[in-house]
Amino acid sequence: MSVNRENYLLIKEELLPYKASLVAVSKTKPASDIQELMQLGQKDFGENYVQELSEKQEQLKRNCNWHFIGHLQSNKVKTIIPYVHLIHGVDSYKLLKEINKQAKSTNRIVDCLLQIHIASEETKFGFDEQEAEALLLFPELSELENIRLRGIMGMATNTEDQSKIKSEFNQLKNIFDNCKIMSFEPEAFDTLSMGMTSDYKIALDCGSTMVRIGSAIFGERN
Ligand SMILES: *Cc1c(COP(=O)(O)O)cnc(C)c1O
């Protein structure tokens, strides 16, 4: 139940030469685990479910950076807007518009990543490369003044095949570079969120700037 400090410190070390940041994925884990990690200096935490995130936010009421990394439904946007730090899973223009609307009503500018679908599994959400690029060229995009596109998020196929994972992360890096050039604010488009417990080392070698790690730090989830 408690945090694996050794792994945490090791991962922090491994990230240094890459200048990559760590989102500690705390889904299904108790607020006490988050507190324990905060005491070691961790600020960024990732959650997948709106209900769970809002409960933890209530309990902790402290200055951690909440990353929403799950599939976000439009009707739940409002709940997390007041405190969310970065929304990783934007997978439609409709969702982006809703985030903008809610952000506007709370007077915030909310950072977002476009989720890119690259893995073989059908269940993973996201844009393909053409859709993401088309979105970036939408003239209406510049009217969404309360969102800021910071980059992309992606997941590799859940497989043992390291070369497949590597090729998918390379593809994501390519898409990231292309999207950055096309984006409205290229300097702000600086985040490539990829890599989890099983594949973060490969992701770092392929250019990840942000890894999302859960089980290596908090232990296996049930
Ligand atoms: C759960 C989850 C993670 C963390 O997975 P681990 O394998 O436990 O590191 C990362 N990203 C997303 C989108 C997740 O849903």
Count each helix (H run) and each strand (E run) in the chain, helices first: 9, 8
How far, in Å, from the CA of 138 to the mean position of ligand 1?
31
- Residue minimizing CA distance to atom 11 of ligand 1: 212
Q: Could you read off the pLDDT of 160-201 as tens digits, one per residue?
A: 999 999 999 999 999 999 999 999 899 999 999 999 999 999
Neighbours of 25 (CB within 10 A): 25
Write down the pLDDT at residue 1: 55
- Indicate the pLDDT class of residue 60, thresholds 50, 70 and 90: very high
pLDDT at residue 157 greater than cutoff 90: yes
Considering Cα of 89, then 53, then 158, then 125, what sign does the dihedral take? negative
Q: Is 163 exposed, middle or buried (0-12, 13-18, 19+ CB in 10 A)?
A: exposed
- Indicate the pLDDT class of residue 53, thresholds 50, 70 and 90: very high
Enumerate residues lining ligand 1, CB below 6 A: 25, 27, 48, 69, 196-198, 212-215
How far, in Å, from the CA of 26 to the mean position of ligand 1?
9
How far, in Å, from the CA of 83 to the mean position of ligand 1?
21
